[in-house]
Structure 1
């Protein structure tokens, strides 16, 4: 990952090109070899202007730290990245367990949190600006405390981006401030002050995510789906596992240990019903090899209450034609089922953060946000799916025809992730 740009909790913290441009206004001797097309990739400034000059001064550009109520904020000239650590190493580890005899059991492999440490050069014109710049950075790195303080999003670039597109963008989630910001050194110049600052972030979710696969970004009108009369549960009745070849019919194995029952959907319907089926195809050619994928479901409920939603993920070797996958009951990889969503609500089920939210308009307090119950196959417990094979995929969305109102739209973003970058 490059250290010339970082966006935390939707606030630009580091932008080396911006800092270098503002420093040149006051002839400060700042050497910067930052990515030249960074401002264009961020869509900063007037891209049609000739010449293209993305940055003018903190006040004119309304730089992230600029506050018209604080005059000293105009004398903060920016934050330039100097170094970053914590991205290039995997977080996976395991603890072997010694056996009574020779050797050890491997133990369970798990991924710990990720610690990311930045070294930044803050450039200011005077002591007042220095004080304000430190105040702003400390506040910005605190982020926002929502959803049980699970942290915010960190956006970085894996390499210098090109002007067109943001394929180099990477994201981390559940990120919060671990330590700092700490001033390591101060250098006083004739026209300004250079402050060398370090701070550390902790990513509770260690994965590094890319942008969603392009083939999954299309929104679908669920009212235009194919009408089918089906019982979604029959797919599990039709796909039975192979019998154990060691099972003796004359001497059956003892019964399995009784497990603690898992709560199921108390209102889960059974039997056939009329559904609208929408199928999304993810071709194999769009899936990077050897990278995991997780889904992000976004759904806007239309004019009526939606009383049954089934999102089913099926494997497909080609991903181009889902007809065969729909006929194969054993192609089902994972199920997501939600029993009820009110009219006009917005649902997000995010496999990156493993959180689900529903936003509803209310008469008294405006928008209300809550967490919906999620169920798996046949109303059983839901498990967050991770698709580890570089295959194509068929995503099947089923909603009852009677409850799918006008304006019901959905898309399922497929996002790849890595353990180092």
Structure 2
């Protein structure tokens, strides 16, 4: 897994392509200047949604996550240089072994364990005030969601470098990985500080401290996921006049359902307002089983206490579901088939 790019809850925490450019424009405390080890093909062209280049933290087109116009020192922070991630490549499955009564051992079932990932990084900037500001930003960004209702955040990374001809969409589809239900469980802790910056008396001289930090994040779902693949995108039917959709079942041969009109469904001789959406399809097609939603919005009244039936798209009758009389649940009430004008439910 690459260490060049990390997001926590959608917030960009590590971006070596951005850092490399800011070390040129903001300033670098490193003797090597802006030359840092990293993936050379991982650029703003594949990371920025619009493919715009990185310039400075206060660039209105590509501002840094930590930039605050009310905090001048935020422009003096260059970013986070991630050195390593321990535990990210471990297979998170363990089996317990206990001593058997008859000798030897007894092997327990395999259990998936949470994944613990330990990050080691250094914070870089042009002044010590800028680096201190970056440390506070890192603490806030790693917290993610909090509270009793929070089950963790998503942490995004990339598996490998993009090809030279790859577009942003191709790169994300092929190499973006996401760990789910991730929370900060330790740190960030300052493990080292080096540099010639001075913040005595609230002032800073040129030259910045290099702060080394370490933090641990735990993924309750330990496996890395690729981007979701959309299999079906079908919008729900709507009506222009705001009326509720009425659902019915269309026989596979076409035509109406035992004389039911194409707009409105009769119940005890009165017309129910609203459009009717009928489902067509041959027997055995996808969705030819029981139709659970006979009607999306059911107007009360006009239905006797009788067994509720459901029908498949093949037009064959399904057995009663055992819900009768006043003991019928609200869910069954919503699935009830409307009566026809003769006072009985239509045969489907």
TM-score of the pair, normalised by structure 2: 0.60
Which residue of structure 2 aligns with residue 37 of structure 1?
A: 42
Q: Runs (4+) of structure 1 moved beyond 3 Å?
A: 102-105, 189-193, 221-229, 274-280, 303-306, 399-403
1:184 paired residue number: 191
SS at match of 1:106: strand
User: Is 2:35 the counterpart of 1:21?
Assistant: no
Work out the CA distance in 1 between the residues paired with 2:109 and 2:210.
47
> Is 1:154 paired with 2:155?
yes
Distance 1:71 1:27, change over 3 A: closer
Per-residue CA deviation, residues 59-84 of structure 1 (Å, 9 max, x unaligned), is 01320011112111111111122111
Q: Partners in 2 of 1:129 and 1:19 — Cα distance?
A: 14
Contact 1:85 1:116 in 2 (8 A): yes
2:19–2:81 contact (8 Å) kept in structure 1: yes
Is contact 2:26–2:75 with CA below 8 Å preserved after alignment? no
Pair 123,221 (structure 1): closer, same or farther in 2 beyond 3 Å: same
**C-alpha separation between the residues in 1 aligned to 2:337 and 2:22?**
59
- CA shift, 1:42, in A, is 1.8
Identify if the C-alpha distance between structure 1 residues 228 and 115 changes in structure 2 by more than 3 Å, giving closer, same or farther.
farther
Q: Offset of 1:92 from its aligned partner?
A: 0.5
Residue 200 in structure 1 maps to residue 199 in structure 2:
no
Change in 2 beyond 3 A, CA 1:129/1:136: same
Compare CA radii of gyration and give the structure with the larger one.
2
CA–CA distance in structure 1, aligned partners of residues 280 and 103 of structure 2: 59
In the TM superposition, what is the alpha-carbon distance from 1:41 to its structure 2 partner? 2.2
SS of aligned partner of 1:219: coil
Mapped partners of 1:186, 1:103: distance in 2: 51
For the residue of structure 2 that corresponds to 1:108, the secondary structure is strand
Q: How far apart, CA to CA, are the structure 1 residues paired with 2:162 and 2:337?
A: 47
In the alignment, which residue of structure 1 is the partner of 2:140? 139
Unaligned runs of 5+ in 1: 48-52, 230-273, 281-300, 307-338, 342-398, 404-421
**Cα pair 2:123 2:211 within 8 Å, conserved:** yes
Q: Does the CA contact (< 8 Å) of 1:78 and 1:122 recur in 2?
A: yes
Q: Residues 310-367 of structure 1, C-alpha deviation per residue, up to 9 Å, x if partnerless?
A: xxxxxxxxxxxxxxxxxxxxxxxxxxxxx999xxxxxxxxxxxxxxxxxxxxxxxxxx
Aligned equivalents of 1:102, 1:58: Cα separation in 2: 66
Quick one: distance in 1 between partners of 2:211 and 2:250?
Answer: 65
**Post-superposition shift, 1:98?**
3.3
Query: TM (normalized to structure 1)?
Result: 0.51
* 1:38–1:160 contact (8 Å) kept in structure 2: no
Q: SS at the partner of 2:124?
A: strand
How far the C-alpha of 1:103 sits from its partner, in A, is: 4.0
Supply the distance in 2 between the matched residues of 1:226 and 1:210 (Cα, whole angstroms): 39
Alignment RMSD (CA, Å) = 3.6
Where in structure 2 are the equivalents of 1:117-266 lying within 5 Å?
117-145=118-146, 148-162=149-163, 163-164=166-167, 165=170, 166=172, 167-188=174-195, 191-213=207-229, 216-221=230-235, 227=249
Structure 1 match to 2:5: 5
Deviation at 1:96, TM superposition (A): 2.3
2:6–2:155 CA contact under 8 A, matched in 1: yes
Change (3 A) 1:26 1:172: closer
